[in-house]
A and B are shown apart, each in its own frame.
Chain A
Amino acid sequence: MTAPAIVLFTVMMLVPLVLSGYLSLTDWDGYTAQPAVIGLHNYRVLLDDPEVRDAAVTTAVIAVAGTVAINLAGLGTALAISTPGRLNTLLRTVFFYPYVISALIIGFLWSALLSTNGAVNTVLEAVGHAGLPFLSMPGWALVSLITVIVWSGFGFTLVLYIAGLQTVPASLIEAARIDGAGRWRTLRSVTLPMIAPIVTVNLVLTLVSLLRTYDLVLSLTGGGPAGTTQTAAYLILSESFQNNMLGYGSAQSVVLTVVTGIAALAVTLLRRRADTGVSA
């Protein structure tokens, strides 16, 4: 009964993972059946590649800023609308819906809104303001990208935070308030410790998914202007498949996998005390 799953998982997940390590040591171009092994050459090139360095920085900025912003927005909104009620259910839907739309299409939609002669600039110009270079200037484009990421992604954390907040007994909050704790103190000392596991799940899920940002970059900025919004995943896929440098791409993806694993583990470990040491 276990055989089909194990075979499929091995052939399509485990073997590729190991192969990734092997291919990263070769000059595979995507066609040859027996690529030549070139040792650690790809990794040495990678360390000196300015494009890789820039993509790493961009990915790190997106992952860190996006994770913080998405979770602050998600938790803040959840605190405001966690009580049951028709209006709050409606708001939850409104904040959540982009999650069911493909990231590729969200990118196209926002590029139509934010491009030089897009909808937002049309309005700005109509009210007498000069258009803004949302997607056409390096710093602006990265901020726009992160903003769209937060717009489309915080609804998911919102739903998880609401689920978490609903497990916090109202009596506990009430007790804290009666003991003289203010709203802020109640949040910090009662609510947040109670939902600590949800916070960890949200942080890890957001971080891991942002380290893979690809579709949105492709359709929103195309990696531009001047490559300033190229993420690691974008570089790996678009460069290695377009330039037939799959060996080199493999080396980049090995590094990305390792970094993702370390990042997820680090957040989990850092959050461990908050997860377990709960006392109200």
Chain B
Amino acid sequence: MTHQSPPALTGSSGTATMTAAAGPPPAPAPGTGPGGQAAGRPDRPRGPGRGVRVARAAVLGVGALVMLVPLWVLVVNAFKSEQDIRTSPFGLPLSRLSLSHLADALHNPDFNVVKAYGITALFVVLVNVLSLLVAAPVSYVIARGTSRWHTGLLLLFVAGTFVPSQVLLIPVVYVLKYLGLMGTVPGFVLFETTLTLPVSVFLYSAYIRTVPRELDQAAAVDGAGRLRTFWLIVFPLMRPIVATAVILHTLGVWNDFANPQIILGPGSGLYTVTTGVYAAVGKYSTHYAVVFPNLLLAIAPALAFFVIMQRHIISGLTAGATKG
């Protein structure tokens, strides 16, 4: 039994459809009858044997521990004294836990965590809004277009995925200096937004192709221009894919380090969570009672976001990666 169209997720060649599976192949007849090849081991249950199951459980258990222990160390040590961290880094001395180290970190003169949350959140919002305003219309044109120019435009944007952002950083500094935007919020937001375009345009244009053209035509008949047609008719239907893109870009901007570090620079007084932590923790890297609380405060929002949005983050990344 052969079949020509495997239910493949769109690969790196990127056929831009939203359908994940091209329909399952016809199911083979289960079993080949009592006289068939299956008769060799008739009583054996399907699935792995007992030994395999035990080994698998053991490996997965150890793996899960290896994944969680660093998080455990990070969380519990944020509440312990330097002495307790040194003597028993994995321990949880319930009677001696204290919030004072976290409080110190919140009032760290080198790094105002709350301010960093605010600044980083502002960047996240600005980049997401700008990215949507810029990427959605161009994706609409690409999705509805039929000429080579539209295919070329799509390829051009998608090719941006493979350009390392650190490699762009040096020439972008040159461009931003020329434009007078170096060290400024607009300069940083514009560059960061550009970095979101390849993924956004790819996701959006693939999604818009699944929106029936008849909707556009009906709007046109009613006298709406292209811009109105897009924002009033097509855009409201794009909610799921916009959510995916927002999740991807939020994680990207929140966790970015090199771009804010270089473009905003230490002189601007603007620091994000990552550049702030770098400044604060780098100095005290051997003072664990300072390091752990700062790290915990830095990852807390990302972890909370992950716990709440878990399912969406995973499906969003899956969509972004397999279609991007």
Which residues in A have some Cβ–Cβ distance to B below 8 Å?
Answer: 1-2, 4-6, 8-9, 11-13, 15-17, 19-20, 23, 28, 30, 33, 77, 80-81, 91-105, 108-113, 115, 117-119, 122-123, 151, 156, 159-160, 163-164, 167-169, 171-172, 174-175, 177-180, 183, 193-198, 200-201, 204-205, 208, 211-212, 214-215, 218-219, 233, 236-237, 240-241, 246, 249-250, 253-254, 256-257, 260-261, 264, 268, 275, 278-280
Contact = CB atoms under 8 A, between A and B. Distances in A.
A257 B167 contact: yes
Interface string B170-201: 11111101100000000000110110010001
Interface string B231-270: 0000000000000000000010011111000100000000
A97 B67 contact: yes
Given A95-B64, A104-B278, A201-B11, A159 B317 contact: yes
A219 B294 CA distance: 14
Task: Say whether chain A's binding surface is mostly helix, strand, loop, or mixed.
Answer: helix
A201 B87 CA distance: 45
A4 B137 contact: yes
Contacts of A254: 167
Contact of B164 (A102, A122, A212, A240): A212
Interface stretch (B99-107, B206-214, B298-306): B298-306
B10 A197 contact: yes
18 contacts: A2-B137, A9-B157, A9-B197, A13-B163, A13-B197, A16-B175, A95-B63, A97-B306, A101-B303, A105-B277, A108-B277, A109-B73, A122-B86, A160-B322, A178-B38, A205-B321, A256-B164, A280-B6
A2 B138 contact: yes
Given A5-B135, A180-B37, A17 B163 contact: yes
A80 B295 CA distance: 32
Q: Of residues B12, B66, B162, B318, which shows the largest number of chain A Cβ atoms within 10 Å of its Cβ?
A: B12
Contact of B306 (A100, A197, A268): A100
A28 B173 CA distance: 11
Given A19-B174, A201-B12, A1 B230 contact: yes
Given A151-B67, A172-B28, A240 B134 contact: no
A100 B300 CA distance: 11
Contacts, number: 294
B171 A250 contact: yes
Interface stretch (B18-26, B109-117, B216-224): B18-26
A113 B2 CA distance: 52
B175 A19 contact: yes
A74 B71 CA distance: 20
A29 to B, nearest CB: 11
B51 interface: no
B295 A13 contact: no
Nearest to B167: A253
B130 to A, nearest CB: 9
Contacts of A115: 286
B34 interface: no
Given A4-B133, A16-B175, A108-B291, A167 B9 contact: yes
Contacts of B37: 178-180
Interface in B123-168: 133-135, 137-138, 140-141, 153, 156-157, 160, 162-168
- SS class, residues of chain B in contact with chain A: helix
A187 B88 CA distance: 45
Given A100-B255, A105-B299, 14 more contacts: A5-B138, A8-B194, A23-B170, A23-B171, A97-B67, A102-B302, A104-B277, A169-B27, A197-B8, A257-B164, A260-B164, A275-B11, A279-B2, A280-B3
B257 A103 contact: yes
A218 B277 CA distance: 13
Contacts of B108: none
B9 A198 contact: yes
A7 B6 CA distance: 40
Interface string B262-297: 100000000001100110010001101001100100
A102 B254 contact: yes
Given A5-B197, A102-B257, A246-B170, A160 B318 contact: yes
B166 A236 contact: yes
B303 A97 contact: yes
B140 A1 contact: yes
Nearest to B168: A16
A222 to B, nearest CB: 9
Nearest to B305: A100
A12 B73 contact: no
A260 B162 CA distance: 8
B194 A12 contact: yes
Contacts of A233: 164, 166-167
B277 A6 contact: no
B70 interface: yes
Contacts of A118: 89
A178 B31 contact: yes
Contacts of A80: 56, 59-60
Contacts of B67: 94-95, 97-98, 151
A4 to B, nearest CB: 5
A249 B66 CA distance: 38
B31 to A, nearest CB: 6
Interface string B65-103: 011101101100000000001111110000000000000
Contact of A12 (B191, B201, B314): B191
Given A197-B11, A201-B321, A2 B168 contact: no
Contacts of B281: 108, 219
